[in-house]
Amino acid sequence: MADFGIRFFLCNIFICIIIGFLIIVKRVFKNYLTSRMQFNLWFLLLGILAVPFVPFRPASFTQVLALFGAWKNAASSNRGTITESFLDPKASGAANQMNDFALSVSRKTPSIIGLIFCGIWLVGILAMILSVIKSVSRLNAMKKSALPLQNNTVRILYHNCLKEMRIKRKIPVYSTAFLKSPVIVGLFNPRIYLPIHLISDFNAADMRYILLHELQHYRHKDALAGFFMNFFGILYWCNPCVWYALKEMRSDREVACDTSVLKLLDESDYENYGNTLINFAEKVSLTPFPLAFVSENNAAGISGSMKQLQQRIANISSYKKPSIVRKLKGLTAFATISIILSGLAPMLSTYAAEQNRYQWNIPSGKVSTIDLSAWFNGYKGSFVLYDLNGDTWKVYDMEQATLRTAPNSTYKIYDALFGLEEGVITPDDSFMAWDGTDYPFEAWNGNQDLLSAMQSSVNWYFEEIDKQASPSAIQDYIRKIGYGNEIVNANVSAYWMQGALKISPVEQVELLTALYNNQFDFAPENINAIKNSICLFPPENFSSEGINFYGKTGTGCVDGQDVNGWFVGYIEAAGNTYFFATNIQAAENATGSKASEISLSLLSHLGIWKQ
């Protein structure tokens, strides 16, 4: 919930930018877009306003989310609680020892800020709902006091309007003393309400224009549009840009409705229709949302604010039936704007940003699910195994296997590869001098090379690679190989530690396979250097020759608790290669070492590895 609060805040900033873009393009293309097209463009905005609450997968512009990651990890360099664990040589039967070191990152401050945002937002929504309830009660009171239309002359005129517009549904008409302007209300059971003074001051021409206007609202389902406008007005009560946009949408709705009426009239009647609006300008005023009659019975009427009426009069005075050429140009402009706005929509998905699930497209015949819950006792997690020769997959818990989470130190495999490709280090010279900073792990307090840094998971070594390679280069490499969600935040010292960068177990296995086969088209000597650095159990440690075990652990420690454990790798044995990834999550004690124990036990159970 705290994460959602911050992400929703960021989404609102970009929604304001999108609204500004929409207003600008509407003005640029106003001579080509018909009034109905200009109104329909606002429905694209309504769709965009829904995006933060629905499960989209971001297709582009993912760097927006990195702002949150940078904020969330601002305290990640604090060295408070630390984690130090080891792969047990006895348990694995191996001679080499792989250290699993992890620093704790803090989430306390961002969580509080996110909760504050959510709290304020929810309180505002509650206040808006109470206001809507009050408005609905006023609307119901008006309905109860209204009487069916008794004036026969008006009734005859109304039925003629229904025939003129070819509307078969008999929409009830009522008279009321509690309105200054005629309106049509009701989403499922529409009704037209006429003020008593309008009936008593009956003018046949004015009444016809009014009834045609209200029936145009019915024909174009404007009550449904009004419902969504009010709904998003509640959700985005704190965003003035959204409120301004919704106000403009209501104004464009009336202009579009006027234009629809003008299409039914003779050109000589345009001026009279405009005069009808002017006559109402002195008699009525429309109370702004949310004190207006809202809810599912959204009201749409012929009146409006003075500014809206001026805009509508200007539209009427300049109205000309659009030519075929103008319609084609308008449709082209409308389609172009729609494509642009649709392309921007996925970046606003807070659900996708929060859940970040990998969309795994693979034939079902290549994947089999297995029940390994007995090995994950007390942990939420998954195990993924890929058989290279058989081109088949075994997956435990598909839901968790495609859910992205922080890679922690498993990312260092690829960070080192990027450093090699950039020339920061080389296979023959990967030495880096320790700067004398006192670290909580003795293994970190000394000079390092690629092998020692990988075995002891030395953070400063890989941070130095990032600094020398530059964040932009690292981002480019991450995109090139398709690493998880491909998000790197501004804090280059911590983006893999419970930060913005996330990856799923399935993707871990796919990337290891791509690394093994050098599908990245990197220098072969660099690929071999990485393989050597993660070789845990070489053949000389086994009686059976030809077996190599490669792997890397990772531990995510948040506020002193180990909450995310990884073990990824592959085994070369008996003419085949098996790639695997194990991820475990819990409130505590979810370490890379524990993930490695589970992995070795599972690989033994599956007959791939002998402990």
In angstroms, the first-to-last Cα distance of the chain is: 43
pLDDT in tens, 216-239: 999 999 999 999 999 999 999 999
Q: Which residue, among 309, 223, 323, 220, has the nearest Cα to 273 in the 3D structure?
A: 309
CB 14 within 8 A of CB 348: yes
Contacts with 359 (C-beta within 8 Å, 6 or more apart), sequence order: 57, 402
- The whole-angstrom separation of Cα 217 and Cα 254 is 9
Measured distance CA(515)–CA(223) in Å, rounded: 57
Q: Look up tokens 């996708």; give the residue.
A: 352
What is the rounded CA–CA span in Å between residue 297 and residue 223? 7
Task: Please write the tens of the pLDDT for every residue from 362-399.
Answer: 998 999 999 999 999 889 999 999 999 999 999 999 99
pLDDT at position 240 is: 95
CA–CA distance, 411 with 508 (Å, rounded to integer) = 9
**Cα gap 65→58, rounded to integer Å:** 10
Q: How far apart are CA 182 and CA 30, in angstroms?
A: 29
For residue 201, the model assigns a pLDDT of 83
The structural domains of the chain, with segments of one domain joined by +, span 2-63+113-348, 356-605
**Does 409 qualify as catalytic in the annotation?**
yes
Name the average pLDDT for the chain.
83
Positions of the chain with pLDDT lower than 70, given as ranges:
1-3, 55-111, 114, 280-306, 346-355, 489-494, 498, 538-546, 611
Tell me, what's the pLDDT at 155? 93
User: What are the two backbone dihedrals, phi and then psi, of residue 403, each rounded to the nearest 5 degrees?
Assistant: -90, 125
Q: How far apart are CA 560 and CA 497, in angstroms?
A: 13
φ and ψ at residue 186, rounded to 5 degrees:
115, 125
Q: 356-605 belongs to which CATH class?
A: alpha beta
181, 295, 349, 409: which one is catalytic?
409
Say what the pLDDT of residue 100 is.
Answer: 63
Return the DSSP state at 405: B
Angle, vertex CA 254, rays to CA 251 and CA 260, nearest 5: 145
Torsion of CA 284, 289, 295, 299, to 10 degrees: 20
What pLDDT, on the 0 to 100 scale, is given for residue 299?
53
